[in-house]
Structure 1
Amino acid sequence: MNYLCACVLIGFASSAIAGAQAVATASRSVSPSAFVMGSAVYTGLEANGSTSWGGGKNVGVTAGFDIGVYALGRYVLGIEARGRLPVDKGNIVSETNVMGGLRIAREPVEGGRFRPYVDGLFGRGQMTYQNGGFVYTNLLYTQTAGAVYGGGVGVEYDVSQHFSAKIDGQVEHWSTPVTTNGSVHSTVASVGVAYRFGAGEGPR
């Protein structure tokens, strides 16, 4: 009887631990977070219609959110949405976009603080040309709009239970009629903060 009671108690304890772990994993997999960052943008467009990785510099603000939908061990597959607005529009062109897609993040080990991730995004954007417009093939363009897609990498560093510092880099493909190949490749480097809702997963 004592042996049976011990087995029952061990079984209940094991079930409780497993249930707590399952709840923690489930909570983590659906825990949303929001972020805001300052962004240095290289639009790729030069004044003569050519492209380069460092062309058309400007500064913007990027904000968005992500939510996990499936967890496998330390890896969480999630959905991300973000948008960018120009603050300093530069001398050639500024960009405004809204994008969404998938993100894969790796949760920190116990006691760890780093949360690296990769993402792939798709959306639509608008390019606004400065100094009265952009001349290409005898046409003057003041604004163009089209599809945008790209992806990037980043890392979050937990500074508290809810807040993380965030560094992010993206490469974006923009469709536009003002270049010979019909596109530009923008590179975006961002730094900011992220806030995790719910119980939070950072250091307490």
Structure 2
Amino acid sequence: MSSKIINIVVVCVLSLFVADRANAGLIIGDHYSDNAGIQWEYIGSFDLTGGEDHSLKPTTYNGIEAAEFIFGQPTIPVSYALSTNYTTDYTNIEDYIVNKEAFYQQYQIAAVKSYDQARATNLAGGIGYDAQGDVSAYIKDRALEGIYINYVFKSVTTSVPEPSTIAIFSLALIGLVSRRFKN
């Protein structure tokens, strides 16, 4: 077999290998999406009843504030999202949706409900947790421990190589090899 044919085969195999790297593929593992297609990584959970006793110190947390209190402030551009449904609730994990809702306790109202972030913020009714109907996502109250769990996700920032960069690199490589063959 001549060296020219071997060189062509090597260049073709190398080009296929490089082109394969341009395919970002699906994000798998502990990564999930929301209805807008934004990717989120599961980082942990917290129980609604794990916070402070309201009778000792009236405090209110929306779901995101509770996540920041427990898991720390996210670094920019990372942000948190909550979900009231856990990954084990789904038969097919790829169908899991981060629903951006959290369980909240309402002051002097026994029911614990799941609200989205905007609705819960509107219900909070100001500073503190001392007026009927005020809500908090992380406060010791009448909710039963271990039942109302808020699952926390952080946004995923991925760096995906642009296919155009890979294509330019491949074309340059092919040009160099073809120039060698001309000589």
TM-score by length of 2: 0.32
TM-score by length of 1: 0.29
Structure (1/2) with the larger strand percentage: 1
Q: Which has the larger radius of gyration?
A: 2
Greater RCO, 1 or 2 (C-alpha within 8 Å, sep 6+):
2
Structure (1/2) with the larger helix percentage: 2
